[in-house]
Copies of this chain bind each other. A is one copy, B any other.
Amino acid sequence: MKHFINPSDVKNVQELVKAGLAQKANPLSHQHLGKNKTLGLLFFNSSLRTRLSTQKAAINLGMNVMVMNVGSDGWQLEFDENVIMNGNKAEHIKEAAPVIAQYCDIIGVRSFPSLTDKKADYEEQVLESFRKYAGVPIVNLESATRHPCQSLADLITIAELKKTARPKVVLTWAPHIRALPQAVGNSFAEWLNLTDYEFVIANPEGYDLAPEYAGKAKITHNQAEAFAGADFIYAKNWSSYKHYGQILPGNEDWIVSAEKMKLTNQAKFMHCLPVRRGLIVEDAVIDSADSVVIQQAGNRVWSVQAVLKEILEGM
């Protein structure tokens, strides 16, 4: 694996899930692999889990880590080509990326979408610019349209918990007060489609994910139908893809409730976090024994550790 930006960078998703479970079983097994190698973590946006779990994974692999909040620690970056840089952006990605690569063997980048420029967002301008100009491996720490470190952790979590070979996995939209990216929903769908699990996406009308991400999933606008017999309920809010970046009126009743969970096959409750209690999910659900959100967050270490390990092995 050269980069880890989207699933097409991955040779074999199931092998990567197994590698994550192996790292979890033996966290320090490859502690010499990253010796004298440096990981740079660039945050254009807030991060808790990704920030800490990626540092932890790199430490487990013996790497050095340098963390930077790009906008506040450094300079605003320009990504458009052939512009006269007379605005508030002091540095072009054509310099910034290769410069950072002078100091880092691998670069992790988090950059949320604008939610206003659908084209730039879905072309993954920021991550693909790093890929194009840096010259070193790039790890996607959540981009405009994807969050593959999260999705791999999700697959690891399902692999640990599933009771049948082909569980029914439901991704359900849930309400929020802010316009959020589609990245986690897109990415979970994209990765689930690489398994043979039964996969259903439930969301209100107007909230269908982009078809290239939803892929072969069954899509329904009936949440109860989706929940029936489910083994995993994965809740997440996203803003509309069709009415790009907007929150459509209504749909507050899409909260994941204890009542709705009764429809499932005693499903495990999943969420990538942070989660808004009382909007996305009732306390009774997330506080129940079937909530696995902490285990899921813990698996973020093993997900990115498997990714970094494979990149290091290929260097």
Contacts and interface: CB of A to CB of B under 8 A. Distances in A.
Given A48-B68, A298-B102, A278 B53 contact: no
Given A94-B286, A102-B298, 11 more contacts: A46-B74, A48-B75, A51-B66, A56-B104, A83-B278, A91-B273, A94-B287, A95-B293, A98-B294, A99-B294, A102-B294
B38 A96 contact: no
Nearest to A86: B177
Interface string A278-315: 11000100110000011001101100000000000000
A91 B59 contact: no
A38 B55 CA distance: 10
Contact of A66 (B56, B100, B104): B56
A64 B59 contact: yes
Contacts of A94: 277, 286-287
Contacts of A298: 99, 102
A40 B59 contact: no
Interface residues of A, number: 58
A121 to B, nearest CB: 21
Given A38-B59, A276-B86, A47 B73 contact: yes
Interface in A136-190: 177
Interface in A85-136: 85-86, 90-92, 94-96, 98-100, 102-104
B48 A274 contact: no
A18 interface: no
Contacts of A283: 82
Given A84-B279, A277-B84, A279-B85, A51 B64 contact: no
A150 B49 CA distance: 30
Which 10 pairs across A and B sit closest by C-beta, in order of nearness? Answer: A84-B278, A91-B274, A102-B298, A48-B74, A85-B276, A52-B103, A99-B297, A56-B103, A90-B274, A98-B294
A94 B297 CA distance: 13
A69 interface: yes
